[in-house]
Every structure is written in C-alpha cells, then in structure tokens.
Structure 1
C-alpha cells in the first residue's frame, strides 16, 4: 500500500490529535465520572446531559459554535488577540479543543459505568483502615476499574481517529496543521482520486476493527455502554 507524503503528514497529525485528546480526556474525565458515579446532587442529570450532548448534536453545529468562540471575533479568540496572542481557529490547538469536547462522552460514560460497578464498599473498608482519598483511588479504584480505563481510552482514541465535521468546521484542511485522515479522504474523493481515498479508508476500517476487538475483549464480550 503506497501512501503519498501528504497522506503520511495527515496520519502524523491524526495520531498526535488522538493521543493528546485521549490523555487530556482521561485526566479531566476521571473526576467527572467519579462524581457522576457516586454523587446524588440535583445537578447530576444536568451534567450527564451536557456530557452526552455530543452524541446527539450534529458535529457541524458544535463545530460552528466553537469556530465562533475560537475565532478572532469570539470571546475566546478575541480575548487572546487582545492579549497579543493568536486566535485558535484553524490551528491544531483549536481542533484539539473541539476533539476533547466532541469525544467527552466516550471517556466519561465507560469510566462512570466502571466506577459504579466497582461499588463503594471496598472504598469504605479501606477508609475504615485509615487509607486516604488518594491511596484509596490508586490502590482500590484504579485496579477495580482498569477495564473501564482501557475501554474509555480505546473508544476515545478511535472516535478521534474518525472525526470529520467538527475538525472541518474549526480547522479547515491545512496540511501539517489541521489536515487529518478524515479530511484527507474527503479531499481525495472530491478530486476523484478514489484509489488514494480507498487506501486511507482501508486503514481506518482496520483501525476500527482493532478498536472494537480490544473493547469487547476488555469488556468481557459485553458491548460498551455509550448512550445519550
């Protein structure tokens, strides 16, 4: 399978986006999932709805409003420009922000399910023996929820791998900066270069199969729960 330099560049940008998105979401998604799994706050349903919103919201809608916010006239991009910095539209940082928001439920929901299945009894026993919150999390929660972390990381990475609408709206298709695999396939198809589009599509199909295999293996052959 022969790939062009443009294709290899897009693969590099895509893998970097997937890796950064996964790492960021594991860091910020873990406390959210812990709170949702254990909390009884009245805000719980509101937060759950906000987390799941990207599952039902058209990617172009999310991308459009992020473009407005991150662009030179937006409240984020405009503020950055007033501080002497560049706005974030059509940049790698911009598509990373969009990717983190769009993939949030694919991290939070598997982790929430894993934390809920682990239960609170082991943590209560550890607390009664004098273990602190960090010790309980590292020695009890992490081992019991390790499959949830594997599933969350795998689903997040795979979902980012195939993102298109959000990326195109926020980042366009700038080679080496925002040109990812999905937009490269679109560009090849638009130019009627079907052979190149076919090669990259096969790569994504293979990656999707590998991801599903890992998820089902880690989840005991039960389908992961990712729902609005």
Structure 2
C-alpha cells in the first residue's frame, strides 16, 4: 500500500506542471499541432492498458532503443523498476491531469485574459497570476483524479514492472495475486482499502467543488 501511494504521489507531482503547461497550450493553440497533441494525450484513455504497457516494455527494455541508450550512458534500467512504472504511470495518467485543466481554462471568459494583457502582463504571468487562481476546482479535480487513477493502475505497471516485492508490487497487483491464491480475506483488505481511499478522495473533490460554486 505504501508503494502504491508513493507511486500515486510522485505521478501527480510530476504531472501537475506538465498538465498546466499542456492545458494552457491546448487552450490557446489553433493550429494542427493542437489536434496531434490531443490525440497523443487521449490515447491512454482509448487504448487497452496492456497495449500501452507492451510498447513501453519494448521501448524501455535493454534491447530497445531508449532502454539500451539509458543503460549504456546512465546505467539506468527502467524495466522491472520503480522508475519504470513511474514513467509509465505518468504517461498513462496524462489525460487525467491535462483535460480538467484545459476545460477549466476554456470555461473562463476571454475578457479576463484580455484585461491582463492590457495591464502589461505576459502570457506566463497571466497564466499563473490570473487564470490558474480562477480554476482552482479544476486543478484540484485534475490532481485528485490523477492520484486516484494511479492508485488503481494495473495493466500498464504490470507489463513494465512485473511483480517484485517492495519494488513494483502495487496494491492492485497484490490484490490480483491474493485472488489467484484464493486468499480472499487478504484480497478483501486490499480491495476495501483501495475502495475507501478512492471514494474518500472523490467525496472531497465533489464537496470542495460544491462549496466553490456556492461562494462564486
């Protein structure tokens, strides 16, 4: 469970700045690159997790281009390691971070950004001082959604990390192992813990969004 929360925490922390910048780019972009980037962001949602995990395994393996390069130059092996499942989790969680932030920015009136520009603020200053403070619920939804999704990941991390105790054996993988071993008592503990955390975080998201709407 601790390893699962560690993975979810670092996935969310890494994706937050990436999601903000990508969300802002998609909010402003009008060219064909916007469509190409949106396709890449949405792919983890439409592809079976094992498909994405398989291609990441090929890419990260010591025989793959990236895996061979990292092993030769930095002595870094991504397959069957926490670093590997972290990268896979970041890629798989990308749409859960980017899409709520982009939607939040699109919901703002365009006059807000225009007024900031008229006052002499640049794009980045406008983003961080004007736009982001006005989409706090969207940012919270993105972070919580990413965290909850990372807690329940199975297919992608199983393909990349396998099932190594203390290194890549997440709660979802342990749950699957206990069910296979017909150890339903321990499987129930894993399942109930994951259910309680996910339901609790979703309750917090909805409650904060409700309070925000009532005060604005």
TM-score by length of 1: 0.88
Partner of 1:206: 196
Q: Distance in 2 between matches of 1:153 and 1:118?
A: 19
Deviates more, 1:128-137 or 1:60-69: 128-137
Output aligned runs, 1:47-126, within 5 Å: 47-83=37-73, 85-126=75-116
1:22 to 9, 12, 30: 12
CA distance in 2, matches of 1:126, 1:168: 47
Can you give the 5+ residue segments of structure 2 that lack an aligned partner in the other structure? 212-216
Higher helix proportion (structure 1 or 2): 2
Residue 98 of structure 1 and its aligned partner are, at CA, apart by 0.4
Q: Deviations over 1:135-173 (max 9, x none)?
A: 322221111111110000000000000000001100001
RMSD: 1.4
Matches within 5 A, 1:1-228: 11-83=1-73, 85-220=75-210
The Cα shift of 1:107 comes to 0.5
Distance in 2, matches of 1:110 and 1:137, equals 15
C-alpha distance in 1 between matches for 2:152 and 2:12: 14
TM-score of the superposed pair, with normalisation by structure 2: 0.93
Q: Give 4+ residue runs of structure 1 displaced > 3 Å after superposition.
A: 218-221
Q: Deviations over 1:101-149 (max 9, x none)?
A: 1111000110000010123321211111122333322221111111110
When the two structures are aligned, how many residues end up with a matched partner?
A: 211
SS in 2 for 1:73: coil
8 A Cα contact 1:38 1:116, kept in partner: no
Structure 1: tracts of 5 or more residues without a match: 1-10, 222-228
